[in-house]
Amino acid sequence: MVSYIAFFGVLCIASFSSLCPSSLCMIIIMSVRSIRYSVLVWHLCLVTCCSSSVGSSNIMCQESERRALLQLKQGLVDEFNVLASWGSKKDCCEWRGIACNNQTGHVITLNLSNNSSDDYIDAEASLRGEIDPSLLELRYLNYLDLSFNDFGGIMIPKFIGSLTRLKELKLARANFSGPVPSQLGNLSNLHTLDLEGNSDVSFESLEWLSHLSSLRYLNISEIDLSRNRNWPQSLSKLTSVIELQLFECDLSVNLRSLSSINSSASFQAIDLSFNSLNSSIFYWIANVSSSNLVHIGLSGNYLQGPIPDVFTNMASLKFLDLSENQFEGGIPKFFQSLRSLESLHLEWNQFSQNIEESVKILSCADNTLMDLDLSQNRFWGSLGLDFTSFTELKFLSLSQNLLNGSLPESIGQLSSLEALDLSGNSLNGVITEAHFLNLSRLQALDVSDNPALSINLSSNWNPPFQLNELYMSSCKVGPAFPKWIQTQRNLTNLCINNAGILDSLPEKFLDQFSGLEDLDLSLNQIHGKLPNFSSSLLTYVNLSSNLFSGALPSFPPTIQYLILSGNKLSGPLSSLCATQAPNFFLLDLSVNLLSGELPKCWMQFPALQLLNLGKNKFSGKLPSSLGNLQLLWILHLHGNNFSGELPSLENCTKLGVLDLGANKLSGKIPPWIGQSLTQLFVLRLRSNEFHGIIPSSLCSLSSIHVLDLSQNNLSGALPHCFSNITASSDDTSVFGFVEIVWKGVEIEFGGNLAHVRSIDISSNHLVGDIPENITSMLMLNSLNLSGNNLTGKVPEKFGNLNSLESLDLSRNQISGRIPSSFSSLNFLSVLDLSYNDLSGRIPLGTQLQSFNASAYMGNSGLCGPPLTQQCPRDGTITGTENDDDGIISMGFFVSTVLGFATGFWIVCGSLLLKSSWRHAYFRFLDDTRDLVYVKTAVYKAKMQRRLHR
């Protein structure tokens, strides 16, 4: 009887409850002691639950809340109809992003996040506009997510602080700005607050966060908190918070501000990565952490010295990231207490320790450690270790260290390993099948940049794994192409450059890799024809510096980077037009045997930013469609046989490098170069057939670093506006590569051209004088005006160009004396003033007398060293009163002798009379001698290393 009463009692409760879960049925059954009745009870309970569910399905959302949602929609800009379902159905509980209480019909969830379940964010589908106060009608709302949208910098609405039933508030990366309203402190039921990535948001104070008494998760990463200097004190009051995310907040800390903190916080996870913290932060972490601390992220700060012992008692720690700091020493022995450690990141520091000792210390966590990254340090020693105990290890990176010796076969016993990176060391020996014996889960392998390491795997070997990424650059892989790679059907990245391969690619090579995206086989001697790329998914292809021959195939629409320079490819470029590649970014076909005219389909590649077709055999006129490449940054067409006038490129306003040298282009230099291409830092038109005057518009090229107009048929005078070229004082980094005549030799500059500033207008037909204001280009490194018909005098202030390293004014008709200011050109290493009409004494100066006499030959009026022609006694003073090369008076000699005698007795007399001074003086001489010896020895060693290279 009691059982029946209990059953009906619980059943009544169930019938009036808002939910009827199966757990409630279990409670009912447990209340019925008789097994015979429990089956009946279970059946009746299911019927009750089902009927309850059916009844609740008829409950629709509240009309007032429906109207509020539609009003909210009106304030939003929804260009891609993300909210198309809003209003199309009467029941708002069925609208996208809405969830309701199935008993009351009240809206409890509003999820308008633009972040799908796979973390893909579609920027185009972002909501914009305003957040209407009608949101306040949703009084039962406990979940609000507006993250990953674009609200255009509006402030976070203060009225959100009135939604007091909220438990989760997510506004991450939604482009809010202004101060975070303190009214959010009224949300006493809030469990989660996520404001990450709103970089224009600020906190006037962090104190109100302590009012959120239920808060468990706080993420305010990527918000500038540099003005909140008391942040350690404010956050120490967050008694309920378990996880704290403060990465990239421009935080700093000092030890004095931490000494007075009495913390009531008990965090279990802390991420303070990418701030400006010093090692004092460890005192705060120790003060605010619970005994169950599991996660610490301190990457990208200014932590230095050895790792402190604050981690000694953190036995529960699972994740520790100290990467990208300035730690020294090694992994401390107290890490042996971290027996729960699963992930350890120490990369990009200055640790220096024997790798065997490091691994031995970490063996305490060999049953838990899954992720170990010690890359970019100075760990040293042989890898002759036994890794078999690290049974859970999934990711291991020891790259860019000082490791040597052979790879132990025990590495092949890490059956859980998914990624192995040993690149950038000095490993040697041979890698065989035994090293991969049980690595069935391996997905990424990188052993590149170990020049003495040989990869000796059988051609018929069938690996136990399927790799996604394989890197074996700068290892001994060849001479045969490794056939086992063709078994790796899941490859997305394959990089085997500079690996000594002297083979052809296997037939239908790319057919094996349907998902391959990045392919780099450069710097080998692979021969034969290029594979068929058209049906692949490749985005990056680098087959440069090989022996590929034949015609160019067509390329897939996915291609973004295509580098085939330094081969023997021939034929026309017409196959390029068969490629529709809207994201084509870089095309380098330089140093081949390609010929014919350029195709006219360049408008098919609107994203192209780098185009290098230099050093081929192309001919004909340049197509006007090149002018459609509005994003083009670097254009190299040098070393071909292009002819005709230059087509308009004035729409290519982003051009930084324009290299058309060594062709047969003719006509005048178009003025639009200076008017439209204002971002040029390299303009190279040398060795063409341009004629006419140099357009004054070139003076508008305010960022120019290399200007080469040499070996043309230019006439007229040098523009007097050259002083407007402001790159002579601009130290901005610029990147590119270009061939220039530097100190008389044509060489290729690559990388950063920030400190290269060169003007070469030699071998033309220029007339007139050298403009005086050219001497205002103070940072100019190289100036070549040789082989023209320039007249007049060398500007008096030429010595102002004190950064000048190379100067060539030869083969002109320049007259007058060499200005005395030339003696100030201390960095000058190449000088040629030959075959002019210069006269007078060569100014005295260490640099000028060190040059070969040929630098001054052909100037019959010049005299003095290094020339053998002596200056006449009465002609030693030439020029103006300011010259210092003249007669030295007798008064000068008298003054010098008296000054020397006085100084000598002051110094020597003091040394004779005072013994302590005498001892200090001779100790100084000994130290100076030792210093000179050490510097000489170091310099000698450097020179010997260079000679051996």
pLDDT tens-digit map of 827-836? 899 999 999 9
Higher-pLDDT residue of 635 and 755 is: 635
646-692: per-residue pLDDT in tens? 999 999 999 999 999 999 999 999 999 999 999 999 999 999 999 99
Q: What's the whole-number mean pLDDT along residues 626-632?
A: 96
CA-CA distances (angstroms) from residue 129 to 154, 173, 177?
9, 15, 14
Whether residue 217 sits in one domain with residue 120: yes
Secondary element (H or E) of residue 362: helix 355-362
* Cis before 866? omega within 30: yes
pLDDT at 548 over 90: yes
Q: What's the whole-number mean pLDDT along residues 609-628?
A: 97
Give pLDDT, residue 288.
Answer: 87
Q: What's the whole-number mean pLDDT along residues 327-342?
A: 94
Whether residue 39 sits in one domain with residue 73: no
Give pLDDT, residue 908.
Answer: 53
Within a domain: residue 343? no
**Is residue 741 a contact partner of residue 765, using CB atoms and an 8 Å limit?**
no
Within a domain: residue 219? yes
- What share of the chain has pLDDT > 90, as a percent? 67
Whether residue 83 sits in one domain with residue 145: yes
pLDDT at 601 over 60: yes
* Cα–Cα distance measured from residue 401 to residue 601, given in angstroms and rounded to the nearest whole number: 48
Give pLDDT, residue 29.
Answer: 34
Structure tokens at 11: 């059943």
* Cα–Cα distance measured from residue 644 to residue 621, given in angstroms and rounded to the nearest whole number: 6
Give pLDDT, residue 739.
Answer: 74
Give pLDDT, residue 477.
Answer: 95
Give pLDDT, residue 30.
Answer: 37
Whether residue 27 sits in one domain with residue 147: no
Burial 418-436 (b: 16+ CB within 10 A, else e): bbbbbbbbebebebbbebb
Q: Which CB contacts under 8 angstroms, 24+ apart, belong to 120-129? A: 121/148, 123/150, 124/79, 124/80, 125/80, 125/82, 126/150, 127/76, 127/77, 127/78, 127/82, 127/83, 127/151, 128/76, 128/77, 128/79, 128/152, 129/75, 129/76, 129/77
Whether residue 94 sits in one domain with residue 24: no
Give pLDDT, residue 944.
Answer: 46
> Any idea which residue has 């059943």 for tokens?
11
* Cα–Cα distance measured from residue 633 to residue 722, given in angstroms and rounded to the nearest whole number: 24
Chain-wide mean pLDDT for the chain? 85
pLDDT at 115 over 60: yes
pLDDT at 42 over 60: no
pLDDT at 541 over 90: yes
Whether residue 104 sits in one domain with residue 216: yes
Q: Phi and psi (nearest 5°) for 243?
A: -120, 130
* Cα–Cα distance measured from residue 697 to residue 707, given in angstroms and rounded to the nearest whole number: 13
Give pLDDT, residue 778.
Answer: 84
- What share of the chain has pLDDT > 70, as a percent? 82
Give pLDDT, residue 630.
Answer: 96
pLDDT at 120 over 80: no
202-222: per-residue pLDDT in tens? 999 999 999 999 999 999 999
Q: What's the whole-number mean pLDDT along residues 282-303?
A: 92
Within a domain: residue 242? yes
Give pLDDT, residue 749.
Answer: 66
DSSP conformation letters of 136-178: GG-TT--EEE--S---TTPBPPGGGGG-TT-SEEE-TTS--EE
Helices (H), 634-733: 672-676
pLDDT at 24 over 50: no
Whether residue 137 sits in one domain with residue 12: no
Within a domain: residue 874? no
Q: Which of 246, 274, 302 is a domain's end point?
A: 274
Give pLDDT, residue 15.
Answer: 36
Within a domain: residue 279? no
Give pLDDT, residue 294.
Answer: 96
Structure tokens at 178: 């202004």
Whether residue 235 sits in one domain with residue 167: yes
Q: What's the whole-number mean pLDDT along residues 725-733?
A: 54
pLDDT at 879 over 50: no
CB neighbour list of residue 38: distance below 8 Å, 6 or more residues apart: 29, 32
Within a domain: residue 377? no
Q: What's the whole-number mean pLDDT along residues 432-456?
A: 96
> Any idea which residue has 């100067």 for tokens?
807
Q: Phi and psi (nearest 5°) for 939?
A: -65, -40
Give pLDDT, residue 116.
Answer: 55
pLDDT band at 947 (very low <50, low <70, confident <90, very high): very low
Give pLDDT, residue 746.
Answer: 72
**Strand blocks (E) in 177-266:** 177-179, 192-194, 200-202, 217-219, 243-245
Give pLDDT, residue 291.
Answer: 81
Q: What's the whole-number mean pLDDT along residues 137-158?
A: 96
Q: What's the whole-number mean pLDDT along residues 593-605?
A: 95
pLDDT band at 340 (very low <50, low <70, confident <90, very high): very high
Task: Print the domain residue range for 18.
Answer: 2-56
Within a domain: residue 633? no
Question: Strand, helix or coil at 734?
Answer: coil
Whether residue 245 sits in one domain with residue 148: yes
Higher-pLDDT residue of 885 and 256 is: 256
pTM over the 0.85 mark: no
Give pLDDT, residue 124.
Answer: 66
Considering only 445-449, 578-582, 789-793, 939-943, which range has the smallest mean pLDDT?
Answer: 939-943
pLDDT band at 43 (very low <50, low <70, confident <90, very high): very low
Give pLDDT, residue 775.
Answer: 87
Considering only 153-157, 576-580, 618-622, 677-681, which range has the smallest mean pLDDT?
Answer: 576-580
Higher-pLDDT residue of 465 and 43 is: 465
Q: Which of 242, 274, 306 is a domain's end point?
A: 274
891-922: per-residue pLDDT in tens? 444 454 455 555 555 555 554 455 544 445 44
Give pLDDT, residue 743.
Answer: 64
667, 647, 666, 668: which is closest to 658 by C-alpha?
A: 647
pLDDT band at 501 (very low <50, low <70, confident <90, very high): very high
Secondary element (H or E) of residue 898: helix 890-913
Whether residue 169 sits in one domain with residue 32: no
Considering only 55-69, 170-184, 545-559, 929-943, which range has the smallest mean pLDDT?
Answer: 929-943
pLDDT at 617 over 80: yes
Neighbouring-strand partners of residue 783: 759, 807
222-242: per-residue pLDDT in tens? 999 999 989 999 999 999 999
pLDDT at 785 over 70: yes
387-411: per-residue pLDDT in tens? 888 999 999 999 999 999 999 999 9
Q: Is 719 left (phi over 0), alpha (psi -120 to 50) or beta?
A: beta
* Cα–Cα distance measured from residue 840 to residue 877, given in angstroms and rounded to the nearest whole number: 9
Whether residue 176 sits in one domain with residue 110: yes
pLDDT band at 734 (very low <50, low <70, confident <90, very high): low
367-380: per-residue pLDDT in tens? 999 999 999 999 99
pLDDT at 249 over 90: yes
Q: What's the whole-number mean pLDDT along residues 854-882?
A: 75
Within a domain: residue 355? no
pLDDT at 694 over 50: yes
Q: Is 697 left (phi over 0), alpha (psi -120 to 50) or beta?
A: alpha
Q: What's the whole-number mean pLDDT along residues 419-433?
A: 96
Structure tokens at 681: 């830092």
Give pLDDT, residue 123.
Answer: 60
Give pLDDT, residue 753.
Answer: 72
Whether residue 187 sits in one domain with residue 94: yes
Chain centroid to CA 582? 24
736-769: per-residue pLDDT in tens? 667 777 666 777 766 667 778 899 999 999 999 9
Q: What's the whole-number mean pLDDT along residues 531-555?
A: 94
* Cα–Cα distance measured from residue 470 to residue 459, given in angstroms and rounded to the nearest whole number: 17
Q: Assign residue 211 the CATH number of its domain.
A: 3.80.10.10
* Cα–Cα distance measured from residue 338 to residue 317, given in angstroms and rounded to the nearest whole number: 7
- How many distinct structural domains can be found in the chain? 2
